[in-house]
Structure 1
Amino acid sequence: MPVVVQIKRRKKLGQHRPLNIRLVLPRYYNPEKGQQHKPFMIFPNIVLPTLAAITPAPHKVTIVDENVEELHIPDDTDLVAITTYTRNVQRGYQIADECRARGIPVVMGGIHVSFMIEEALQHCDAVVSGEGEALWPQILEDVQNDDLKPVYQGGIRRI
């Protein structure tokens, strides 16, 4: 089950350079119903604000929930992290493909990609399987060191 991942980069980042990070929750996308199709429910997503809160300074983090606002990924973005459910994974893959075509590394997490790792790796540079909050600082360090791994195994928190 080896997976070969090739990351295209515009430039070397350098270990001490702050990253410009976009955290994205894709909208529900159904090509048969068009972009205007509304999901039957929208739950607030706690993952992206949590990742933003634990991102060490001086990295810059912007959260984009496509259910609320339109997605814009500036050219100076160093990393895009996308969280998905099965209902929005196709839109997540579309975003990931567009970012990778521009040389921006993409990390994906969420319930769908946790179970469909090989499928997700066709669209992104790295997959976080399971809960990834504890792995986030390591992922950021790996991005800075140009050493992003294809799969990060997160855990399940026990209370």
Structure 2
Amino acid sequence: MSELVVGRLVPLAIASAIWGICFLYYKAITRYRSQALKRSVLGLLCIGAFVSLLFAQISAFSSITGLRRPIDDDPFFFWLGIFESGIPLGALFFFLIQKRRLDDLEWVYKTSFLRFVIRFGAVRIGLLGGVLFFPFAPQQSG
């Protein structure tokens, strides 16, 4: 495979992994919503997975672009990636600090943020998937 295809597939795979973890965690917390210990253990595992994905995203960006320190050369996209990875981390932390069982109305309200994260991830995957079909630069004839 060419480097351009790999450069498009790696961010798509990372975005898919972030969305998948959010979706699985959302399903798990709705199943174990009255069991705070299970929710906390699942949340800690998901936070560990997100941190590893964050470092994978930084490493992939460095290897794809050939830059050793992406923060010095392209800070906008570097910090955008950190921000996108931080949104699910914030949602998971929000659910970890819940100490008591939530009633139905409050539960629906508090899970709406995680549902937003899942939709945000789906849009990001769709945009990255759409980019796969377009060339990076116009082809030069001659």
TM (normalized to structure 2)?
0.29
Which has the higher Rg, Structure 1 or Structure 2? 2
Greater strand share, structure number: 1
Greater helix share, structure number: 2
* Larger RCO, structure (CA 8 Å, separation 6 or more): 2
